[in-house]
Structure 1
Amino acid sequence: MIPWELLGTAEMPGEGGQLRLMRRGGEYAIRLGHTELMNSRLSGSEEALATLACARVAPGKKPRILVGGLGMGFTLRAAQKALPPAAAIDVAELVPEVVDWARGLMADVFGDSLVDPRVSVLVGDVLAIMRKATRTYDAILLDVDNGPEGLTRSDNDAIYEQRGLADALAALRPGGVLAVWSAAPDRFFGARLKRVGFAVEEITVKADRGKRGAKHVIWLASRPGRP
């Protein structure tokens, strides 16, 4: 078997630990400690996050969306396929090295997705970006950490708490949608979204495109009002 090769490391802000970019043949993985955050062979649920959310964006518009977390770009590339040429896609990534990997060590994974004129990469905390973006976005796609309860970095709690969700609601235009990815179910998160004022749908999707394997969860939370 081909051994894993360490390509690069990056420190998470706030003593969040060290990210490691690994490669085995044509397969890539990003790990934090013993936890594998993402793998280039498993992209189905991240793509579904974008596909499901973008399908709920009102047609005939010039939509603007925010993607929280660049990762390996699965959500971004699915959004690019689903959105019209007039769309604007902001991608918030907390760790600068992840953006560097996308443009360098993982360039074969990302292809030309980052040179798309619709795309702007914002290095920073997605929560801080949402707090400055009142009624700016038609959709916000959050693929941060491993979901509301699968947290590997305690600072990410704020995104999924009631105040963070209220910030997301305020950043959406009327009729906009917040889509949240999670590696596992959370029986309290849907209720938290509803308390903030969202209309909520919970969908289970496959981690990969095949018929078997792990399943992940996506919440689609809509802001009331007409687009």
Structure 2
Amino acid sequence: MHPPLHDTAADLPPVVLDRRDGPFGEVVLRRRGTRPAVYEIIANGCFLMDTSDGRSERLLVRAALGALPADRTAPALLIGGLGVGFSLAEAAAEPRWGRISVVERESAVIDWHRAGPLAEISAGALADPRTELIAADLVGHLRAPGTRYDALCLDIDNGPEWTVTEDNEGLYSPAGLAACAARLTPGGVLAVWSAQPSAAFEEALRNAGFTGVRTEEIAVARGVPDVVHLATRGA
């Protein structure tokens, strides 16, 4: 999902802390270095994210809040993908959010946060009384009937054009975007993390009836900037 950004830790061989076989394949937690340690999540041999930075994951949540109407009180937030916990930590640090729901399909990732090294990022946020952790597949969760949210912050892939598993492709399809809109309150915001800009996804958002479609960038150490695609559900 997120390109690795290491300093001296990049020169050291990674240490595997846990390896699990789940319903979507193998997931691995690795550590690089010790001062500070950098933790990495690998899925089916593909690097997903690590704890070396986190600016773009935090921007995902901040940008969604900033795009909401100013008079929205205690908005409800759904974060798609627990990851290494930066987005959740950002949300819990902001008192303006109301209910904070996090959907994560990998039980191993949940365990690494509840009783593993990733707790140093997320323990306080998971203990926040506003936080609800939902063990489920995000695509299925959004398509099922349920409560609505004022913001959806989704970070489960490298981006709309670079998914971790084929099942995730449905999230960015017309039906998937319609499901996102149905789970948003009028004026609610959809924010989607991506490792690169996607003009095609912006067009898909407009075709799905979203307004205010735009992309915010954040520079990374190398390569193209990370981006957050933003869109608003009409009233």
- TM-score between both structures, scaled by the size of structure 2: 0.86
Equivalence for 1:8? 18
Contact kept in structure 1, 2:29 and 2:42, CA below 8 Å: yes
Structure 2 counterparts to residues 57-96 of structure 1, below 5 A: 57-58=68-69, 59-84=71-96, 87-96=98-107
Equivalence for 2:187? 175
Q: Please give the secondary structure, in 1, of the residue aligned with 2:199.
A: coil
Deviations 1:170-189 (A, max 9, x none): 11000000000011222211
Matched, 1:27 2:35: no
Q: 1:54 to 1:108 in 2, by over 3 A?
A: same
State the distance in 2 between where 1:130 and 1:179 align: 14
Equivalence for 1:155? 167
Aligned length: 218
State the distance in 2 between where 1:122 and 1:114 align: 11
State the distance in 1 between where 2:125 and 2:14 align: 26
State the distance in 1 between where 2:217 and 2:136 align: 29
Deviation at 1:53, TM superposition (A): 0.3
State the distance in 1 between where 2:90 and 2:121 align: 13
State the distance in 2 between where 1:110 and 1:92 align: 14
Q: CA RMSD in A?
A: 1.8
Q: Which residue, 215, 218, 231 being the options, matches 1:221?
A: 231
Contact kept in structure 2, 1:184 and 1:216, CA below 8 Å: yes
Q: Which residue, 13, 35, 41 being the options, matches 2:52?
A: 41
Q: Which residue, 165, 173, 176 being the options, matches 1:164?
A: 176
Contact kept in structure 1, 2:197 and 2:215, CA below 8 Å: no
Deviations 1:27-61 (A, max 9, x none): 10001244210010021111110010011233451
State the distance in 1 between where 2:22 and 2:158 align: 15
- TM-score between both structures, scaled by the size of structure 1: 0.89
Using the aligned pairs only, state the percent identity: 35
Deviates more, 1:109-118 or 1:164-173: 109-118
Q: 1:124 to 1:135 in 2, by over 3 A?
A: closer
State the distance in 2 between where 1:56 and 1:185 align: 19
Equivalence for 2:132? 120
Q: Which runs of at least 4 in structure 1 moved beyond 6 Å after TM superposition?
A: none
Unaligned runs of 5+ in 1: none
The one-letter amino acid of 1:184's match is: Q
Q: Please give the secondary structure, in 1, of the residue aligned with 2:92.
A: helix
